[in-house]
Amino acid sequence: MDTTINKARIRQAIEEEKVLSIVTYRYMVHERNYIDHILEMYLREVGRPELQNKLSYCIHELAGNAKKANTKRVYFKEKGLDIHNPTEYHLGMQNFKAETVENIEEYVALQEAADLYVKFQFKREGRTVKIAVRNNAVLTREENERIQQKIRLAREADSLPDIIAQSEDYTEGAGLGLVMSIMMLRNLGISTDNFQVLSRNGETYAVLYLNIPDQPIRKTSG
């Protein structure tokens, strides 16, 4: 991924309401900064730059989950484990985090060799900004069930403590960070009805349709 800021390319995509696609195999500081810059340009176009920090958090959470899913695929392959077998899945996850963090460059190289990417897509349609984070690792049944449960809880609960009281399963990605992302969208006045995570055609999609409110959300006292 070339992290040199191509403002002309981004500006053209925004003005012509075309899809802007960015593909990467890693997601470190340079990549995050690049995506932040793109988000800033889109939010300025629709007159809502103050949403930057919270929406940036949401996008980074989705991208981190996508990158982790890709890493899991190459890790399980290296260990000779079947990620779709529940018993082998739990066995593999016992040392997954420690080993992949310690050997991060090795696993980035394995992901690139396997063409396991993370793709960001931005598209402006009037005052709507559509953002998709995609990766080409299909969710296992267990991963999908965990994610959908968190989405339901975040949409229905009144507060984060309520969610934690209902589910303590935050041992993996797409847990508490995903819940906090959805609640941030709610608090910003952005509908989460069109937020979804699904797998199809060999890819997993996390999609945000941001119908930006015309006026900033005002804080009330008391």
The answer to whether 95 and 164 are in contact (CB under 8 A) is no
Sign, CA torsion 146/120/200/202: negative
In total, how many domains does the chain have? 1
Query: Would 85 be classed as within a structural domain?
Result: yes
Query: Would 216 be classed as within a structural domain?
Result: no
Q: Which residues constitute the domain of residue 40? A: 3-211
Q: Residue 132 is part of a domain; what is its CATH number?
A: 3.30.565.10
Question: Per the structure block, which two tokens stand in for 202?
Answer: 């060999």
Which pLDDT does position 222 carry in this prediction? 37
Query: Would 134 be classed as within a structural domain?
Result: yes
Which of 130, 146, 135, 121 is CA-nearest to residue 194? Answer: 130
Query: Would 221 be classed as within a structural domain?
Result: no
Query: Would 109 be classed as within a structural domain?
Result: yes
The pLDDT profile of the chain, 222 residues, written as one tens digit per residue, is: 655 668 899 999 999 999 999 999 989 999 999 999 999 999 999 988 998 999 999 999 999 999 999 999 999 999 999 999 989 999 999 999 999 999 999 999 999 999 999 999 999 999 889 999 999 998 888 888 888 888 888 777 777 676 666 655 545 544 678 888 888 888 777 777 778 888 888 999 998 888 765 554 444 343
Which pLDDT does position 147 carry in this prediction? 85
Query: Would 220 be classed as within a structural domain?
Result: no
| β-pair partners for 120 | 22, 133
Query: Would 187 be classed as within a structural domain?
Result: yes
DSSP 159: S
The answer to whether 155 and 144 are in contact (CB under 8 A) is no
Which pLDDT does position 156 carry in this prediction? 78
